[in-house]
Each structure stands twice: as C-alpha cells, then as structure tokens.
Chain A
Amino acid sequence: MRVGTIPSAAYDDLPYTRGGAVDRADVGALVQSAVDGDAAAWKALVEGLSPLVWSVVRAHRLSDADAHEVYQTVWFRFAQHLGRIREPEKAGSWLASTARHECLKVLKSLRRLTVTNDPQLLDRVSEDRTPEQSVLDSEEAAAESERIRWMWQEFEELGERCRQLLRVLMASPPPSYQEVSAALGIAVGSIGPLRQRCLRRLRARLDARGAQ
C-alpha cells in the first residue's frame, strides 16, 4: 500500500491536511466528552460530521428513502458504539466507512431483488430537490443560482468515479484524505491525483458550456 505518497504539488493536499488537522482536531475530545454524557459535545459531533456522512450516502446514489435510512443507521450505530471506538480522533473515518459499508449493502440487496441489472435503478436520484429559492430573490442572486445549477448539472454528468469522489470531497468542512479513503475504499495515495483530474474535467465541461 502506498499510503501517504501523494505526488504533491503544494496545492494538492494542503486543504485536506488543514481540514484534517485543524477542523477535526477536537473530534477526539468531543467523542470523549460525549462518552462522559455531554449532550452538547454530541450535538457538535453531529453538526460537524453529518455533511460527511450525507456526502458518502449521496456519493453512492441511493434512493432518498434508502439514503435517509442509511444515514440514521450510521448515527444510531455510532451512538451505540460511542465509548468503544478505539481511535476516537478518527471518528470521521469510522462514520465514513460505516456509511460506505451500509450503502454497499443496500446496493447489493437491490441487485439481489431485481434479476435484471437495470442501471436506471441505481440512478434514482431524487428529482424533487430544489434550490432554496426564497434565499435567492434578487436578480444577482438569481444569476448566481443559475450558475450553481449549471455547475451541479455538469458535475452530475461526470463519470461515476469522478462524481463519487467529488461528492465526498464537497462535504463541509472538507474531509481528510483518510476519511475520503474510508468513504470510498480507495488508497489515500490515489486521491490527490484523481481529485485533480476530476476537477479539471469538470472545469473543461464548464468552459465548454460557457463557450456555447
């Protein structure tokens, strides 16, 4: 395993070590406080790591119903295992890998239920998501919202590998490479180069669209 051998352009892994080292620094301490019964620490963990769990679930393109159930299962299990997790500071990776595992299980049981390998089935991304129009009411904001929707469309049309990686990377705060690795089952060392390639591809799509 080539762990930690990211061919590093300076910009390559910076935001991730930063996201990992600073924003996540107190995860271990929060887990410990939660174990001791501090509900506020638990809430902070949920708020800080929910976007990561949600991103992992979304990256696997589950139906809305399945996505909701996997998200809940992951958090219920985390609450249950709290205090028994060996490396509390790596709670993000624990959550990401549990989410991945549950997603793969859902996909497996779907495949089992339907004899056909209908790709449409795995493509049941919800149609009912809409941007929060109420927030975006001025003309300027409308243009901005249009741009965001464009970008989202182009992102959705990327190849599966890129779409998956980018969906996990766009969790907020940015996940560490260890978390991304746990979320997608790919080697830490391959994330940096793949990320660059995927973002370049997206940029190219956006440029092409803009030039039309």
Chain B
Amino acid sequence: MHEDVTGEGSPGDDGFDIELLEEELRQAASILDPVPAQLCQLAVEAFALHDLDARIAELTFDSVEDAIPVRGATDVPRMLTFRAGEVTVDVEVTAQGLMGQVLPPQQARIEVLGGPQTATPVDADDMGRFASDAPPSGPFALRLRTGGEVVVTEWLRA
C-alpha cells in the first residue's frame, strides 16, 4: 500500500532509498566535514565556565542587530549593553580595544574572559569605567566582581 503522498516522484521502494541516501550523507559528513577535534575539546573544557553562583548579564543591545547602519561608515565600533537586574554594563569594541562602563557607577574588578582558560584583568575606576587595549578576538565575556556579587556577561562573539 504505497500512496504517493507528496504528489511527486514515484511510489514503491523509494522510501527505503531515501533513508539509505540520508545515511550515506551522514557517513560522508563524518568523513569529509567532521567536528574539528580541537573544537570538541574546547567545548569539553567549557564545563569550567559553568558557575551557578554568578548572575548572568543578558545582552539587551547589540549594534549589529539593533542599530541602523550608517551608509559608508566602515569601521564602526560594536556597541553592546548587558543587564543583570539593576546592573548595566555598556561595552564598546573597536579594532583598538575595548572600553566600557558599569552602571550605576561603582568600583568593580573586571576580567575579560576569552575562553575556559583565559582571563585578563582590566582596571575600572570608581566611576565604573574600564578600558583594555587588547581587542577580544573570538568569543568573549566579562566577569565583574562588585559589591560581593559576581556578574558574567553573556558569551558573545566579538
């Protein structure tokens, strides 16, 4: 009882063929385009980033998504805003580096995370302003310690 339900192609043993073909594709992918081993290893190591005690500051503004592009402007800084409750972190990423401010203005110890193993401290003044002359390459997050609390921004690709 083979009805040609999709209204195209021929009925019959087509079904078997299709499953087989997909399985062959799956094998081809595992040979020709597998997950690079070093990436898989990084993902395994990312377990270290799991921190139930930290509050996550969610991305609430990203100029890539939310801003209207300026015609002809090429090297525009990436503007990001993260928020966790009443704490807001504004960040600007350019080719020269990264700068930002914690609001409401307050002292904070800040680290730029570049992966499970990399954390670079940056100075923040008592207005909460901070700057680093090393632009993040690849995924990054900021870890802030302020007022006995740890806040981590959502991981993002710079």
Taking beta carbons and an 8 Å cutoff, which residues of A are in contact with B?
Answer: 7-12, 15, 34-35, 39, 42-43, 46-47, 50-51, 53-55, 58, 68-73, 75-84, 102, 105-106, 108-109, 112-113, 115, 129, 131-132, 145, 148-149, 151-152, 155, 166-167, 169-172, 174, 193, 195-197, 199-200, 202-203
Is the CB–CB distance between A149 and B139 below 8 Å?
Answer: no
B40 contact set on A, CB distance < 8 A: 46-47, 50
Q: Which residue of B lies closest to A150 (CB)?
A: B28
The residue in chain B whose Cβ has the minimal distance to the Cβ of A149 is B32
A residues near B155, Cβ cutoff 8 Å: 73, 76-77, 80
Given contacts A7-B5, A200-B8, could you give 17 more A-B pairs where the C-beta distance is less than 8 Å? A9-B2, A9-B5, A9-B6, A11-B15, A50-B43, A68-B138, A72-B43, A76-B115, A79-B49, A79-B50, A129-B32, A152-B28, A155-B28, A169-B25, A170-B22, A170-B25, A200-B14
Query: Which residues of B1-33 have CB atoms within 8 Å of chain A's CB atoms?
Result: 2-3, 5-6, 8-9, 14-19, 21-22, 24-33
Asked whether B138 lies within 8 Å of A46 as measured between CB atoms, the reply is: no
Q: List 13 A-B contacts (CB under 8 A).
A: A9-B2, A12-B5, A34-B47, A42-B50, A58-B33, A68-B36, A69-B139, A69-B157, A71-B35, A78-B46, A80-B154, A152-B28, A196-B18
Q: How far is the CA of A25 from the CA of B29 in the complex (A)?
A: 24
- Complex Cα distance, B9 from A155, in Å, reads 19
B127 beta carbon closer than 8 Å to chain A = no
Instruction: Determine if B25 and A7 form an interchain contact, defined as CB atoms under 8 angstroms apart.
Output: no
Can you name the residue of chain B whose Cβ is closest to the Cβ of A148? Answer: B28
| B64 close to chain A: CB less than 8 A | yes
